[in-house]
Amino acid sequence: MYNPKSKDANEFIDNNEVIESIEEAKKLVNDAQYIEKILEKAETCKGLTHREAAVLLELEDDAALEKIYKSAKKIKEKIYGNRIVLFAPLYLSNYCVNNCKYCAYKCSNKIGRTQLSQEQLKEEVRALEALGHKRLLLEAGEDDEKCPIDYVVDCIKTIYAEKFKNGSIRRVNVDIAATTAENYVKLKEVGIGTYLLFQETYHKPTYEKVHAGPKKNYEWHTEAMDRAMLDGKIDDVGIGVLYGLYDYKYDTIAMLMHAEHLEAAAGVGPHTISFPRLLPAEGVDYKSFPYLVKDRDFKKLAAVTRLAVPYTGMILTTRENAEFRRELLDIGFSQMSAGSSVGVGGYSDTAKKVHEGLEEKPQFNLADHRKPMDVIKGLVKDGYIPSYCTACYREGRTGDRFMPLAKSGQIGNFCLPNALLTFEEYLKDYADEELKVMGKELIDREIQNIPDARRREKAISYLERIRKGDRDLRF
């Protein structure tokens, strides 16, 4: 029985409710008036129910899809403006006790296994700081013996402490296996930003089919966000689906039900939603997966998600190529990785070792290999503001303090000036001459878009202080 307030995964992700939503959507998709009503509701930025979103997922008509894309762009700009937040993943370890069919880190795979020492981690951090990064997403395989929570905690401390020239990592988000409430408390105490955990697929039979090892426990994994938020004191969580494991309509509807559940049970929906898509990887039979998602469907499901969950930060990964990423940014994404390495020691090459004659391999094959500066130039050319802002985390605008600001569109009062300040830092410390010229033009133009005169004048004074050498000024 579907119950969004329940803590039982089989009730807040009720299989019958998902199937009924799909069947109902198939009947309603030809009702043009109803479709228009849903889009009108979406543009109020109040969100959509999973059943309303299901109807939009059934649309195939190009003209109807264009309406969805325009609405998604409008909603994103209303809440988050034209800012794109940048980050990089950092892999700590590729040891794993699971044998997931879609992952190169599965324990049966004959690859070199390695883990960063604290000294190697420092070199990775310095390399990332030299690229201009301010926020990281920590990644690791699941192995409680080789990669225990205390190791992750020590890594976070090391990252925050390491400074290279004007560089600093100001926010560490964490994507590690589902764990206990006690371990989530440890992460909270050491100052993490968002805890991310991707469901992979919400379809329980498929979930159990593609997993082997501790991760096979569907309930333990799906209920992790409840433990993190309700018992582990984590303010912000991020969810997501690995598209390609099962039917994208089923998984998108179920993911939106998960968002509804977090609102109902914890009072706060997901801070972010990520959209990884299944890619070829070492030892993975990519062609054996029958539900691979086409570009057209991927774009549609992302846009529908923006309409359904307008307040969330939508994350675009380097699994998508540069051209398609550019297209996707136009329909609602607000965050993206840049210059990513998806292997251990990939930024400084300090941990690149051969273990027992085996070479260390990345978790999957990247599609966008551009350097961060090239990504930034592309964003500026397209009219976006590259942002390295981490101010909300450090000013306490998280969880139930962040969501009202996001839902009302007021978060932009902080985001725009903070984005410009962090972009100015990047220009001063890392940019080449071409980007400095492009960036100055953008900042001079965008600073005039800060509506409040006092805030605008303060931002102008902060920009001047940054040019003279100050760093980490924020609203």
- pLDDT tens digits along 388-438: 999 887 888 887 777 787 777 777 778 899 999 999 999 999 999 999 999
Question: How high is the pLDDT of residue 354?
Answer: 45
- Say if CB 340 and CB 366 are below 8 A apart: yes
Whether residue 112 has pLDDT greater than 50: yes
φ, ψ for residue 444, nearest 5 deg: -60, -35
Whether residue 129 has pLDDT greater than 80: yes
Whether residue 184 has pLDDT greater than 80: yes
Residues 6+ apart with CB under 8 A from 243: 251, 275, 276, 277, 278, 293, 298, 301
CA distances from 371 to 326, 341, 411 (A): 15, 11, 29
Instruction: Report domain extents, the chain.
Output: 76-368, 398-467
- Say if CB 158 and CB 234 are below 8 A apart: no
With cut-offs at 50, 70 and 90, classify the pLDDT of residue 319.
very high
* pLDDT one-digit tens code per residue, 196-250: 999 999 999 999 999 999 999 999 999 999 999 999 999 999 999 999 999 999 9
Two structure tokens written together for 91: 């892999």
Q: Give the Cα separation of 73 and 82 in Å (integer).
A: 10
Question: How high is the pLDDT of residue 350?
Answer: 63
* pLDDT one-digit tens code per residue, 336-389: 999 998 889 889 876 555 455 566 777 767 888 899 999 999 999 999 999 999
Question: How high is the pLDDT of residue 281?
Answer: 85
- Say if CB 207 and CB 200 are below 8 A apart: yes
DSSP for residue 321: -
- Cα–chain center distance at 355: 32
Residues 6+ apart with CB under 8 A from 301: 57, 243, 248, 249, 252, 293
Q: What is the mean pLDDT of residues 65-80?
A: 96
- Say if CB 72 and CB 43 are below 8 A apart: no
Q: What is the mean pLDDT of residues 319-323?
A: 94
Two structure tokens written together for 298: 């991927």
* pLDDT one-digit tens code per residue, 275-314: 999 988 888 988 899 999 999 999 999 999 999 999 999 9
Whether residue 163 has pLDDT greater than 50: yes
Question: How high is the pLDDT of residue 356?
Answer: 53
* pLDDT one-digit tens code per residue, 18-43: 999 999 999 999 999 999 999 999 99
Task: Using alpha carbons, select from 136, 129, 118 the residue that is nearest to residue 163.
Answer: 129
Q: Give the Cα separation of 314 and 390 in Å (integer).
A: 16
Give the domain 76-368 fold: TIM Barrel (3.20.20)
3-state per-residue secondary structure call for 326-393: HHHHCCCCCEEECCCCCCCCCCCCCCCCEECCEECCCCCCCCCCCCHHHHHHHHHHCCCEEECCCHHH
- Cα–chain center distance at 320: 14
- Percentage of the residues of the chain whose pLDDT score is greater than 90: 85
Question: How high is the pLDDT of residue 14?
Answer: 98
DSSP for residue 229: I
DSSP 36-70: HHHHHHHTTTS---HHHHHHHHT---HHHHHHHHH
Question: How high is the pLDDT of residue 400?
Answer: 74
Q: Which residues pair with 243 in a beta bridge?
A: 277
Averaged pLDDT of the chain = 94
Q: Tell me the residue length of the chain.
A: 475
Q: Give the Cα separation of 55 and 59 in Å (integer).
A: 7
* pLDDT one-digit tens code per residue, 251-267: 999 999 999 999 999 99
